[in-house]
Amino acid sequence: VISKLPQTGTNIFTTMSALAAEHDAINLSQGFPDYFCSPELIELVNSAMMAGHNQYAPMAGLPALREQIAIKTEMLYGAVYNPDTEITVTAGATQAVFTAISAVIHPNDEVIMFEPAYDCYAPAVKLMGGVVKSLELEPPDYRIPWDMVKRLITNKTRMIILNSPHNPTATILSKQDIDELTALVKNQDILILSDEVYEHLVFDGQEHLSMARYPELRDRSLIIASFGKTFHATGWKMGYCLAPANLMQEFRKIHQFLVFSVNTPMQHALAEYLKNEDHYLTLPGFFQQKRDHFRQGLEQTRFKLLPCAGAYFQSVTYDAITDEKDVDFAVRLTKEIGVAAIPVSAFYRKGLDRHVLRFCFAKKQETLDIAVDRLLKV
């Protein structure tokens, strides 16, 4: 067969997690918790199954769950989304991203994105015949140069992809970014795909600036969320998309043929679990404690910390240690020191290497402590 994605190999998360397992290393590479998700949530899934909720859910998702998502979105962002027409439950954020891009990108449409970027955006754009126009952002602050974004816009620009809080850089969009973005898209036929899977992981008392908060942006945005990320259960692959009805109508046309509907008992459980807002309002504190503990540990090492405003990733540079390429150093750290990280060059399509490694701190404190002990030897 002629490959549709000839450049695509095994992704870096799979590669590093496998290497970590092979060498019995502490795995701070792929982003997932090493602790138990809520037993209450598991019990709710169990109860839903035992109550007989084991057949197809409605295509757009269980009404009770969409209702709870609407309540949460209004409470957090002051935005009213109609559960019937503007919310769809998906099999994780990855499926939602792919569905959103397939629903609106036509051949030769241009899509602006920023690198480093999570790996699932560009392939979806390419598969639809779209053209990725990306800007490479630089450490330490990875600021978006909006004047350069403006220069990238043509009459073929169809979408801008944003991700805040950001994987892998842990940056968040500021109000100034929002203002620049709003000015940029005004009177333009440009959609926004906003990957907000880390919406609850914003630190130091800052607020998550969801596209949902701003009517001019919200009207053109497909917003993606992930219950796997939010509720420490990445293996569940549950998420959702918010979009205005005209966009959601197109989204659902793809969704119904891609998966039709998603896991029924988990939707029942999540609908119930979301009723207690503490389940998500406590998350910034929970993760900030891990972030601070991990950063304090890393400060004793020869790694240099980059800022971390959100998400559960801490990046470091290592110029005081070696001039190896980030991929080589990540492999050596895993094999020789027993700590696995993600080399951030993997998030740039051209492999830009600024000697940055990303550690995931969604781990038990003891795991982070062992990792720091080992990193002290580097």
Residue 92 in contact with ligand GLN, rule: CB under 6 A: no
Tell me which amino acid residue 10 is.
Answer: T
Radius of gyration of the chain (CA): 20
Binder to ligand GLN among 15, 27, 30, 210 (CB under 6 A)? 30
Choose, by CB under 6 A, the member of 31, 33, 116, 239 that binds ligand GLN.
31
Buried/exposed code over 80-102 (b: 16+ C-beta within 10 A; e: otherwise): ebebebbbbbbbbbbbbbbbbbb
Per partner kind, with CB cut-offs from 5 to 8 A, the member of ligand PMP, ligand GLN, none near residue 93 is ligand PMP
The answer to whether residue 94 forms part of the interface with ligand PMP (CB under 6 A) is yes
Place of tokens 């169990």: 46
Q: Considering the rule CB under 6 A, would residue 146 count as an interface residue with ligand GLN?
A: no
CA geometry: angle 244, 248, 252, nearest 5 deg: 170
Q: Residue 92, interface with ligand PMP (CB under 6 A)? A: yes
Which CB, 123 or 139, lies closer to ligand GLN? 123
Closest by Cα among 250, 267, 270, 246 to 258 = 250
How far is the C-alpha of 221 from the C-alpha of 218, rounded, in Å?
5
Which is closer to ligand PMP, CB of 234 or CB of 301? 234
How far does the chain reach from its first CA to its final CA, in angstroms? 46
Indicate the SS3 state at residue 53.
Answer: coil
- Which residue's CB is nearer to ligand PMP, number 255 or number 297? 255
Binds ligand GLN by CB under 6 A, chosen from 68, 99, 167, 171: 167
Q: Which residue has the tokens 């509907």?
A: 261
113 to 132, contacts with ligand PMP by CB under 6 A?
118
Taking CB under 6 A as the rule, does residue 93 contact ligand PMP? yes
Q: Is 348 in the site for ligand GLN (CB under 6 A)?
A: no
Task: Pick the closest to residue 97 from 234, 214, 256, 222 (CA basis).
Answer: 222
Q: Which is nearer to ligand PMP, 163 or 267 (CB)?
A: 163
Tokens of residue 358, six digits: 């990303």
Quick one: 169 exposed, middle or buried, by C-beta within 10 A (0-12, 13-18, 19+)? buried
CA–CA separation, 274 and 149 (whole Å) = 37
Regarding 210 and contact with ligand PMP (CB under 6 A), the answer is no
- Give the one residue of 195, 199, 272, 326 binding ligand PMP; rule: CB under 6 A: 195
Residue 163 contacts which entry, ligand PMP, ligand GLN, none (Cβ below 5-8 A, type-dependent): ligand PMP
Residues that bind ligand GLN (CB under 6 A): 13, 30-31, 167
Interface with ligand PMP by CB under 6 A: which residues? 31, 92-94, 118, 163, 167, 195, 197, 226, 228, 234, 237, 239
